[in-house]
Amino acid sequence: MENSGLPEQAYYSWIQTVSAIGPIVRVAPNEIHVNDAEFFQSVFVAAAKHRTDIIPPRGLGQDDSIGSTPTHDMHQMRRKPLDKFMGRQNIVRLQHIIHEEIRTLDRKMAALKGTGKRVRLDCVFTAFTGDIVGQIACGESPALLEGPDFTPEWYDMIRGAARIIPVLRHFPQVGEITQKLPNWLVQALVPRSAGFKVLQLLGEKRIARIRTEIMTEPKGGHEGDSMFHHLLRSDIPDSQKETARLNAEAVSFLGAGTYPTAATLIFVVYYILADSKIEARLRNALKDVMANFDEEVPNWIKLEQVEYLDACIKEGLRLLRLFRRKSRISTDLDLQYGDYVIPKGIPVSLSPYTMHMDPDIFPEPETFNPDRWLTKNPDPRMERHLNPFLGGSRNCIGMHVAWAQMYLILGTLFRPNKSYQLELGETDESDVYPVIDNEFGVAKYGSRGLNAVVN
């Protein structure tokens, strides 16, 4: 799909222009953009290789979060207590939380069988991911999936918050002011900012509750098992446990942990339902691993080994369109790109979008084609250049939660021999295809969403 010229697609046009100029371009007085995926590993590096700073975003209510921490040392100090908790091994241990939500999802879908009622799967997935992030981050599920019609107001709030991100990035003062105003006034003056305010209030309430739980728990006893329980019990300085700082973390996790995963699921499910051959192949691939679903939800690790399911998820992540360029600052080493020496201290950016849409690596890049990952001799650059969670010491700390949800949700919805069948409702590709730059791509204004009927 082509750029329609919307202001929100300015970055789409920008990236096409920069790509046409050459592989290395000065895009600001103090920033270099490199349009070469092979350079990704030199910029997005592990902490052991060299120190990495960032230019922090402002106005999003996340200034003190891990993801927005500008300096290397502060970032490492804030992230270290959570690396193990959010690591793959611990998320495998905590996947019973996702399993419980999977049972709720399956029960709710089965209850809609034969009613003829239209189901907004975009609301379903946003409710699911919101419940999981709430449970893992705060130890409390908001029960969005159990709400009427899967709590569409949560989807509307998250999507509304996402849509104002480009405005807040250019005019951060708007976000900084609204964070200090009462919610009713924000809703009246800047309704699209209200989503961030609601996330802020949700975070404050949960952090206060967890702080009280820890103060009153028996000596030596750890009753709560969530990210914030873990963080508040850690040995980081007390200044890093202040409510304002932790609230920035809550806003970041509740927002970033909800919509990107849901958006990937929306995209993947549309293409599966729109192509009967893809759906039939996926159902067949899931036959063995999902055979005993009624007795036991399978381990996420087993679903990872279903190659066709894995390929569908990778295609969804590739096509999600992380439009915005991502930059890193090497603070102690110069970087070498061909004949160019990039001095330390200069921000260097790359774009996941151009990496994921490179026709030399991904032929017909606009096409959803899981088979590209299953060829006899796949191009090794595909795996190397698929970086939806970025990389290095600042990669997405919640990526294992996202992976687990995607495998388990898709495995559940498309397993064979279940009592219900999903069919597309009043939805076409334009209703789900990401064309608007809101940090990650979202569908057009006026989108009808991902509608389905349960038969």
Question: CA-CA distances (angstroms) from residue 191 to 46, 147, 164, 188?
Answer: 40, 23, 10, 6
pLDDT of residue 156: 85
The DSSP line for 125-162 is HHHHHHHHHHHHHHS-----TTSGGG-HHHHHHHHHHH
pLDDT of residue 338: 92
Most confident of 18-22, 245-249, 380-384: 380-384
Say yes or no to pLDDT of 224 above 70: no
3-class secondary structure for 321-356?
CCCCCEEEEECCCCEEECCEEECCCCEEEECHHHHH
CA angle 400, 402, 407 (to 5 degrees): 95
Contact yes or no for 350/312 (Cβ under 8 A): no
pLDDT of residue 181: 66
- Rounded Cα–Cα distance for residues 322 and 390 (Å): 10
- Mean pLDDT over 26-53 rounds to 92
- Rounded Cα–Cα distance for residues 286 and 307 (Å): 10
Interval 297-307: pLDDT, tens: 999 999 999 99
pLDDT of residue 134: 87
Q: Burial code of 357-392, b = ≥16 C-beta within 10 A, e = fewer?
A: bbeebbeeeeebbbebbeeeeeeeebeebbbbbbbb
- Three-state DSSP class for 257? coil
Short-list 246, 297, 259, 231, CA closest to 132: 259
Which amino acid appears at position 211 of this protein? R
- Mean pLDDT over 353-360 rounds to 90
What percent of the chain stands above pLDDT 70?
Answer: 88
Question: CA-CA distances (angstroms) from residue 46 to 132, 333, 390, 393?
Answer: 28, 14, 12, 5
pLDDT of residue 184: 62
pTM of the model: 0.91
Q: Which secondary structure element, helix H or strand E, spans residue 409, and what is its range? A: helix 399-413
- Rounded Cα–Cα distance for residues 436 and 321 (Å): 9
Short-list 96, 109, 102, CA closest to 412: 102
Domains annotated for the chain, with CATH where assigned, are: 7-454 (1.10.630.10)
Q: Is 396 annotated as a binding residue?
A: yes
- Mean pLDDT over 381-391 rounds to 93
Residue with tokens 């996790």: 253
Cβ-based neighbours of 43, under 8 Å, separated by 6 or more: 34, 328, 330, 335, 348, 350, 392
Question: CA-CA distances (angstroms) from residue 253 to 54, 77, 227, 256?
Answer: 19, 18, 10, 5
